[in-house]
Amino acid sequence: MSDLNTQAVARYKNNFLKEVEERVEDGHWVKMCMQCGVCAGSCPLGPAWQHSPQKIFMMIRAGKREEVLGSDSMWMCTSCYNCIVRCPRKLPITHIMHGLANYAHRLDLAPKGQPTREIARLFWDNLVKTGRVNELKFSLAMYFKDGFAQGIKNAMAMQGIGLGLMKAKRLNPMEIVGGHKCKDIPGIHKMVAKAREIEDRRRGLA
Partner 1 sequence: MTASIATNQTILVVGGGISGMTAALEAAECGKQVILVEKTPTLGGRTAQLYRYFPKMCHPTCGLEINLRRIKGNPNVKVMTMTEVTAVAGARGNYNVTLKVAPRYVNENCTACGDCGKAVTTEVADVFNYGQGKTGAKVKAAYLPHVMAYPQRYVIDPSIVGTPEGEAAKSACKYGAVDLGMKEETVQLNVGAVVWATGWRPFDANKIQPYGYDRYANVITSVEFERLADPHGPTGGKILRPSDGKEAKNVAFIQCAGSRDENYLRHCSRICCMATLKQTQYVREAFGDEGKSTVYYIDIRAIDRFEDFYAKVWQDKTVSFVKSKVARIAENAANGNPVLHGVDTEGYHRYATEHDLVVLAVGMEPEVKGVKLPDDIVLDSSSFIEGSKDGGMFGAGAAASPLDVNRAVQSATAASLKAIQVIHKSASTEAA
Q: How many C-beta neighbours within 10 Å does residue 83 have? A: 25
Report what 78 binds from ligand SF4, partner 1, none; CB cut-off 5-8 Å by kind.
ligand SF4
Q: How far apart are CA 170 and CA 126, in angstroms?
A: 17
Spatial CB neighbours of 140, under 8 Å, sequence gap ≥ 6: 151, 155
What is the chain's length?
Answer: 206
Q: Using the rule CB under 8 A, is 42 a contact of partner 1?
A: yes
Which of residues 37 and 113 has its CB atom nearest to partner 1 in the complex? 37
| DSSP conformational letter for 72 | S
Report what 47 binds from ligand SF4, partner 1, none; CB cut-off 5-8 Å by kind.
partner 1
Among 6, 35, 78, 159, binds partner 1 (CB under 8 A): 35
Per-residue binding string, partner 1, 82-111, x by CB under 8 A, is: ---xxxxxx---------------------
Q: How far apart are CA 75 and CA 91, in angstroms?
A: 18
Among 37, 164, 187, 204, binds partner 1 (CB under 8 A): 37
Q: How far apart are CA 104 and CA 198, in angstroms?
A: 19
Q: Using the rule CB under 6 A, is 101 a contact of ligand SF4?
A: no
From the list 45-53, 105-113, 138-146, 178-186, the region that binds partner 1 by CB under 8 A is 45-53
Q: How far apart are CA 103 and CA 123, in angstroms?
A: 18
Under the rule (CB under 6 A), what is the footprint of ligand SF4? 33-39, 42-43, 45, 53-54, 57, 77-83, 87-89, 91, 93-94, 97
